[in-house]
Amino acid sequence: MTGNPTYGKEEKSVIKAHKKAYEEARDTAGHDSVIRDIILPNLLAFYNRNNHPHATAVEGHGGIVKDLKEWTSNNWRNTGTVKETKEMKVNIATVVERMFRDWVNRTLRDLANVEELGQNSQQEFQLRNWAIKMVRESLSPEELVAVQAEETQVAASGHRPETQCATTDKYGHSRIEADDKKCFLEMGMLSLSLVAWVDSTREFKVQV
């Protein structure tokens, strides 16, 4: 399919089953993620079951992805949800790591060829993204749907409290200091900040 992609009735049924996930993705990056991580695997599974020629399409299935993007853009563009927003940007790798932490750690141990993590933190740091990528590519269509739903939820409502606490411990103060410095350098603006947060021990703290 090129130029103006068309699909048969059964193909459309496979694609439309994920229309809600597509609509709930609020921006272009989210739509591309639904196409690549949810619709494409299900469509390929349909092709494989039916010995469809596209089951052995060009390497990487780039042509199929391109057609899916064009078809969804043409047919679902007037839903009212296909728009850019100012919601928090979410790294899907972070979502995968949190949802499948044990799996990621097992994969990381295999890649690092160690029985326990923590023996070579530099090596583990370098391999972690690779481990997450391997886990992500091994997820079932159902698991990918769950990841997409969580990604959408986090973008709209923020990270879960335990993730927020851990992130604050690591980056909270440096983030505020960096933002204050940027305001001063750009506009000569000084600020006095009152900061309140819950740390990883669940203790409420306030700092000026």
Tokens for 59, please give them.
């390497």
Give the mean pLDDT of 1-5.
55
According to the model, what pLDDT value does residue 2 have? Answer: 47
Rounded Cα distance between 37 and 137, Å, is: 8
Residues 136/100, Cβ–Cβ less than 8 Å: no
Give the mean pLDDT of 96-121.
84
Distances (CA, A) of 141 to 8, 35, 44, 55: 21, 12, 11, 16
According to the model, what pLDDT value does residue 32 have? Answer: 85
Rounded Cα distance between 47 and 40, Å, is: 10
According to the model, what pLDDT value does residue 102 have? Answer: 92
Percent of the chain surpassing pLDDT 70: 85
Q: Please tell me whether the overall predicted TM-score, pTM, comes out greater than 0.95 for this model.
A: no
pLDDT, mean over the chain: 78
Q: How confident is the model at residue 103 (pLDDT cuts 50, 70, 90)?
A: very high
Q: How confident is the model at residue 93 (pLDDT cuts 50, 70, 90)?
A: confident
Residues 37/148, Cβ–Cβ less than 8 Å: yes
Q: At what angle do helices 40-49 and 9-16 cross, to 10 degrees?
A: 150
